[in-house]
Structure 1
Amino acid sequence: MSDAAQPTAAEVRAAAEAVKTALDRHLAAVERRSGEDDPAVYEAFNELAAAAEEYDELLYDRYDEVTPFEIPGTDDALPPYQGPDEANALSVLLRRDYTVVEPQRLLAQAQRVADLEAGGTGGAGSADTVHSALGVLFGEFEPDEISSRHKEFGLEEGDSTLWVTAVDTPAEPGEWLDAPFDQADPHRVVCRFDVSVVFDDELDDDGLEGLDTDVDMDIDPDVPVPLDDTDDTDDTVDTEDADDVGRPSGARQAGR
């Protein structure tokens, strides 16, 4: 960083004072908290994290020094729940991102569907652009089928998330269709499921940490394995691991 772009010593000092103030506010919020999910504590935590991050950046830019503090990530945490104690009505919100990587494949698959709907006459003509092809495919197939067959359609999957939110009363038919996502309130999320390649990257970085690669298997290749020892395989699923069965790679869950 050039000298002209460096923060001043006064700016670094002001950032340090902001951290001190945020610490006092956080402690005060903790001392006055009304329960485990007190919104005031959550807000004070975020303010402290932001102040500490700002100070750390300015300190490094000015003096090439860092702090010993590491703010724990909050990606897995849900904000304080403010919905009904017992959820009698739910709203499920789903987002999946895709990239069109093979437009010609997308167009060909959509045209095939359009032709079948037109009785094989070839005169449907409704899949000659990417926009119209997307309309044909997403109108024909359920979202889960699109996800499982995305490569067939020339698509590449990006991040996805599913929110299960609590609502006070069931919506009337057609009530929210004009603005379906206006009521997506994180404070009413009962549970959420996120899928992203960044979670795979974290596993790649941390997966081998602490793994003992010098395990002595103590196997003599000249000694045959008794047949009765090979029939004791336990095919039951440990109930402690049952929640992970069927969960896609790169998935992360957050719940209450």
Structure 2
Amino acid sequence: MSDAAQPTAAEVRAAAEAVKTALDRHLAAVESRSGEDDPAVYEAFNQLAAAAEAYDELLYDRYDEVTPFEIPSAEDAPPYTGPEEPSALSVLIRRDYAVAEPQRLLAHAQRIEAADDEGSGASGTVHGALGLLFGEFEPDEIASRHKEFGLEEGDSTLWVTVSDEPAEPGEWLEAPFDEADAQRVVCRFDVSAVFDDGPEDDPVPDLDEDLEPLDADR
């Protein structure tokens, strides 16, 4: 990592203070917990883990030193409290992206719009281009070709949760993620840069090579 990209000593110190604050909050939650599976303790645990990970990363980047903190595993998840024989399940997915190359995104959106005889002009803005992109391609295809579309992957997670019975049609559409219950998760898959100790991904190909044709093999 170059000197220009390294965190400052003040940033490392601030991250250390955040860990101390998270430790205090976690202890307070444990001391006042209402039961063995108190959600406040679980939330404080996650906040402490996130603060420790951030501090560990900054400490390594600045001083080439590490801490004894470990990323919590699936074994640290709250105990399962769902039905023994579930009759329904939900798959909850979140994928985060950064718009790393707006011009690449806009170029793809313009090609999509050009193929539509009734183009709306949405390809002229980033938010319009995103609407065109996700309207044209399935989310899994965007995930596999995100660099081609000028996007940069962030964290992603997939939860498989179970229910006592199937939801009624339209029942949860207004707030699809509000009732996600970590204690009904039967399995989950997390992807994050904090787990990746390998080399950086290969650079994105040149835009001209990348844009022809749309249906190129993945």
TM range (shorter): 0.5 to 0.7
Mapped pair 1:198 → 2:194: yes
In 1, Cα distance between equivalents of 2:79 and 2:168 = 27
Contact 2:105 2:151 in 1 (8 A): yes
Contact 1:110 1:136 in 2 (8 A): yes
Say if 1:111 and 1:71 are closer, same or farther in 2 by CA, change over 3 A.
Answer: closer
Aligned to 1:96: 95
Q: Given the alignment of the two structures, is residue 146 of structure 1 paired with residue 145 of structure 2, yes or no?
A: no
Please state how far the C-alpha of 1:72 moved relative to its aligned partner. Answer: 6.1
- Secondary structure of 1:176's partner? coil
Q: How does 1:1-256 map to 2 (within 5 A)?
A: 39=37, 73-76=71-74, 77-118=76-117, 123-201=119-197
Letter in 1 for 2:72: T
Q: Superposition RMSD on alpha carbons, in Å?
A: 3.7
The answer to whether the 8 A contact 1:90-1:166 is kept is yes
8 Å Cα contact 1:162/1:194 also seen in 2:
yes
Rounded Cα–Cα distance in structure 2 between residues aligned with 1:101 and 1:71? 31
- CA distance in 1: counterparts of 2:173 and 2:137, whole angstroms: 20
CA distance in 2, matches of 1:164, 1:150: 24
Q: Is the 8 A contact 1:80 1:187 kept in 2?
A: yes
Amino acid at match of 1:89: A
- Residue 208 of structure 1 corresponds to none
Q: In 1, distance between residues paired with 2:69 and 2:115? A: 56
Q: Distance in 1 between matches of 2:164 and 2:180?
A: 13
Cα 1:73/1:145, change in 2 over 3 Å: closer
* Aligned residue pairs, count: 153
TM-score by length of 1: 0.51
The TM-score with structure 2 as length reference comes to 0.59
User: Displacement of 1:160 after TM fit?
Assistant: 0.5
The structure having more radius of gyration, on CA atoms, is 1
Change (3 A) 1:133 1:157: same
Aligned-residue offset at 1:73: 4.8
Matching residue's letter, 1:80: P
Give the 3-state SS of the residue equivalent to 1:108 in structure 2: helix
2: CA distance, partners of 1:155 / 1:99 = 6
